[in-house]
Amino acid sequence: MKKKITLIILGFLALGLKLKAQVGINTSTPFSTLVVEGSYEGAYKNIISNTTLSIQDQYVAVNGTSPITVTLPDGTVSNSFSGRVYRIKNNSTQDLTLTGFGGLQLIKLSATNNSPSYVIKPGYYVEVIKNDLSSSAGPLWDLSFLGAILTTNVQPLTYVRNTVSPIDGSTPTNSITTIGNISLRFNGTSSNAANMEYNLSVANHVTVLYHKAGSGGASLEQWGRQASLANTWYSFNGENGSATRDINPGNRDIGYAIIILHNTKEVYRVTANVNGDIASSGGVPAAASSVTLFVEKLD
């Protein structure tokens, strides 16, 4: 009788564990299927030659001085191990080719781009995950992350983009585009010619090289210097060249400038695209007047 009661109790305990289906490591209250309160250790492999990944692999570091191909496992097997993740870093000096099994199974690179292979440049890192498909008619793997390790003298490019439409009395305010220590704007309130202006958060000696072109005339260039106070709007000051400082939406002008801040040692590249109202033509719909500013900070 005692043996039967013990078996019944064990049965209820097993049933309770199955219903809960949550595991905690270093925690007594897991609120997810698996909770790990601590570090995690996974498989790490160094390779120097062509390799096909397997169930034993997770993080793969590719080294050497020769081109190498890393092949993903067959994704059409009955148990397609969806959700498996491989992390691959190219530490070599040559391109690394990541390819689907047999050179034919596809990798999803974007919403509209599938490919049987993907080239990983030296210094780059990718993560690839097995999706829930099992037919080679579609992509079997998703490229989910791409990153690059930059050397100490290589910096990322940062930028900001702003579009305002239509051009009206609010444009000088709504077109203000800020990045780093500089703000840019178009100070016009109609499709007539007006100026591009900049405003600094820190006083600087400024040099500007400005180009523009449009239906109103040939491509023009202007160079100028300006001692610029903080929190003050300035037009592109011109000393040498044939360009006027304004930009004309009615002529669909395109202007671009290099702006150098000498005190803070910064360089900015500005592209401005303006247009007045454009009527529909040749099956292309009409476009309202607009200003688009694209400002890059070149560190």
User: What is residue 12's predicted lDDT score, i.e. its pLDDT?
Assistant: 47
Q: Which of 5, 1, 139 is nearest to 72 (CA)?
A: 139
pTM > 0.75: yes or no: no
Strand partners, 186: 196
Q: Do domains 44-148 and 158-297 have the same CATH topology?
A: no
**Which CATH class name applies to 158-297?**
mainly beta
Which residues are registered as beta bridge partners of 114?
A: 108
Mean pLDDT by 10 residues, the chain (299 residues): 52 51 88 89 94 95 95 88 94 94 93 91 93 92 83 75 95 95 94 93 94 75 91 85 78 92 95 94 95 92
Q: Are 57 and 86 in contact (CB under 8 A)?
A: yes
Nearest by Cα to 222 from 234, 209, 207: 209
Amino acid (one-letter) located at 295: V
Q: Quick one: pLDDT at residue 13? A: 46
- Provide the residue type at 17 as one letter: L
Domain residue spans in the chain? Answer: 44-148, 158-297
Q: Which CATH number fits domain 44-148: 2.40.160, 3.90.550, 2.60.120, 1.20.120?
A: 2.60.120
Residue 53's contacts (CB-CB under 8 Å, 6 or more residues apart) are 60, 70, 71, 72, 73, 86
| pLDDT at res. 139 | 94
Alpha carbon separation from 78 to 74, 75, 128, 132, 249 (Å, rounded): 10, 9, 20, 11, 61
- Rounded to whole angstroms, what are the CA distances from 121 to 67, 88, 93, 136? 10, 11, 9, 26
